[in-house]
A = this chain, B = another copy of it.
Amino acid sequence: MTALQASGESAWALWQKVKNEGPLIQCITNFVSMDFMANTLLAAGASPAMAHCKDEVQDFQKIASALLVNVGTLSPDWTEGMRLAAEAANALGKPWVLDPVGAGATPFRTQTIMSLVNLRPTVIRGNASEIMAVAGAAGKTKGVDSTAEPTHALEHAKQLAKDLGCIVAISGATDLVTDGERVAKVSNGVPLLTRITAAGCSVTALIAAFVCCASRDALLATAHALAIFGVAAEVAGDVRGPASLRVELLDNLYSMDETTVRSRVNIQWDC
């Protein structure tokens, strides 16, 4: 109970830092999510820069605070931009977050994702199927939607986090976030989020914004971003359908007050 309250407080505190700093997040993401991701960052107080071209991603990373790489609508010309941007982030000591969309779905996709994983992202966020595929576990991916449960992927996620020295987040009804030792369980959000495209993509961009504004704990910052995004969906209440939820979610990310965040953020520790 204490941990829960503390999390609500620290989530709000970190979010205020994001709003005050308005970090520029370079996003190399799929075509489907660009609009919603940019609007998510803007609503939450950060600033998006959707630039993907190998001729400028390194220069953009110099003025950005963090990097988001999402492989959704992958093609080789974009992979090169992703690689250069990730290397620039590493060289500049800036955090970068990887969203391994559809890992396991095709050999081309899995290989490309693994080459990015080897560049050691600060955070990897995916659904259970994707995280299992990245961890080299046998699993079954149905396109970009998961057929596995987060708890099944947890041990794989912990090993992956240890091997890479990164944070791994598994999205689901309850999100699991681990650094290989600790596990934070984030129980915010609503089931209807699975009927909106780009929700997972966009929360991953929010993770990038939170991690770069956090002075130290990337695990906690990741959990906070997931919780805030989930709360924004929760307070939408009884919406008529997914399109209304989408509108409400962005409006809430813009307007939610401290009381709402503190009372609703639901993060618990597994250890």
Binding site for B on A (CB under 8 A): 24, 30-36, 38-39, 42-43, 47-53, 55-56, 59-60, 63-64, 72-77, 102, 105-109, 141-145, 194-198, 239-244, 246-255
| CB of A15 to closest CB in B, whole Å | 15
Would A251 and B242 count as touching, CB distance under 8 A?
Answer: yes
Selected contact of A196 from candidates B39, B102, B246, CB within 8 Å = B39
Known: A56-B106, A60-B143. 9 other contacts (CB 8 A): A32-B38, A33-B35, A42-B197, A47-B144, A49-B102, A51-B105, A53-B75, A59-B105, A243-B248
A49 and chain B: residue at smallest CB distance: B143
Residue pair A142, B109 in contact (C-beta under 8 Å) = no
Is the Cβ of A254 less than 8 Å from the Cβ of B195? yes
> A49-B143, A60-B105 in contact; A42/B242 too (CB < 8 A)?
yes
Does A108 lie within 8 Å of B50, measured CB to CB?
Answer: no
Rounded to whole Å, the gap between the CB of A62 and the closest CB of chain B is 9
A263 to chain B, nearest CB (A): 19
- Flag if B53 contacts A76 (CB, 8 Å): yes
Can you list 12 A-B contacts (CB < 8 A)?
Answer: A30-B50, A39-B246, A43-B241, A48-B197, A49-B102, A50-B72, A56-B105, A56-B106, A63-B105, A195-B254, A241-B254, A242-B250
Name the one of B39, B51, B106, B145 contacting A73, with C-beta atoms under 8 angstroms. B51
Which one of B24, B31, B74, B252 contacts A142 once the chains associate, using CB atoms below 8 Å?
Answer: B24
Cα of A102 to Cα of B36 in the assembled complex, Å:
20
CB of A112 to closest CB in B, whole Å: 9
Could you tell me the distance between the alpha carbons of A245 and B247 in the complex, rounded to whole angstroms? 10
Taking CB atoms, residues of chain B closer than 8 Å to A33 are 35
A255 with B240, Cβ < 8 A, contacts A39-B197, A42-B197, A195-B43 known: yes
The residue among A55, A76, A107 with the most chain B CB atoms within 10 A of its own CB is A55
State the CA gap A242–B64 with chains docked (Å). Answer: 23
Interchain nearest-CB distance for A257 vs B (Å) = 12
Residues in B with CB closer than 8 Å to A30 are 50
Q: In whole angstroms, what is the CA distance A254 to B47 when docked?
A: 29
CB <8 Å contact, A144 and B49 = yes
**Given the contacts A144-B49, A196-B39, A255 and B241 also touching, CB distance less than 8 Å:** yes
Residue of B nearest to A48 (CB): B197
CB < 8 Å neighbour of A36 from B35, B59, B194? B35
User: Bound complex: CA of A9 vs CA of B251, how far in Å?
Assistant: 34
How distant is the Cα of A214 from the Cα of B208 in the complex, in angstroms? 43
Nearest B residue to A254 via CB reads: B241
* A138 smallest CB distance to B (angstroms): 16
